[in-house]
Amino acid sequence: MAQTDISPETTEQDVAQQPEKKPPLPDGIGISLEQAKALIAEHNKIVVANDEPALIELTILNAYLGEVQKLHTRHENGLSRLMAEKTDGYVSKVNAAVEQLSTSLSSASVDGVRKIFEAHAATLNSFRYAVYWAAAIVSVSALLNVAIFFLRGMR
């Protein structure tokens, strides 16, 4: 956005009527000599000759921008390669850790289930003995009741 000098006398209409200024250079890596000459003629109202020393500077700056672009491309490729290598290493280490955890958790789960079943089996075993004792007591009680009933009936 272009900056404007706003004084107390400037109204909103004056600010709105001022055209926005274009950026002095177009986007891109560099401009050709013809584009530079046209840009100078447009902004400065001066026609520049082909042997103007300022155009030599443009050639040098365009070459510099090209080299910077090559350097950026090389760094981008190197960084992509480095990130791919580091990411692959990281993913393989994470996979190994997950595999180790799943193995240890599986064995821990199996051991935990085994302990629970052993405790349950011990409880069932003690219940079975209690049922045997209760059956024995009921049997003895029934035999005793029959014997008492029989003995009373004989009297």
Question: Residues of the chain with pLDDT > 90: what percent?
Answer: 21
Contact between 69 and 60 under an 8 Å Cβ cutoff? The reply is no
Sign of the Cα pseudo-torsion (118, 122, 124, 125, in order) = positive
Mean pLDDT of the chain: 80
Instruction: Read off the pLDDT of residues 121-134 as tens digits, 9 standing for 90 and up.
Output: 899 989 999 999 99
Least confident of 8-17, 83-92, 126-135: 8-17
The token pair at 153 is 């009936």
Q: Would you say residue 57 has pLDDT above 80?
A: yes
**pTM, to two decimals:** 0.40
Can you say how many angstroms the Cα of residue 133 is from the centroid of all Cα atoms in its chain? 64
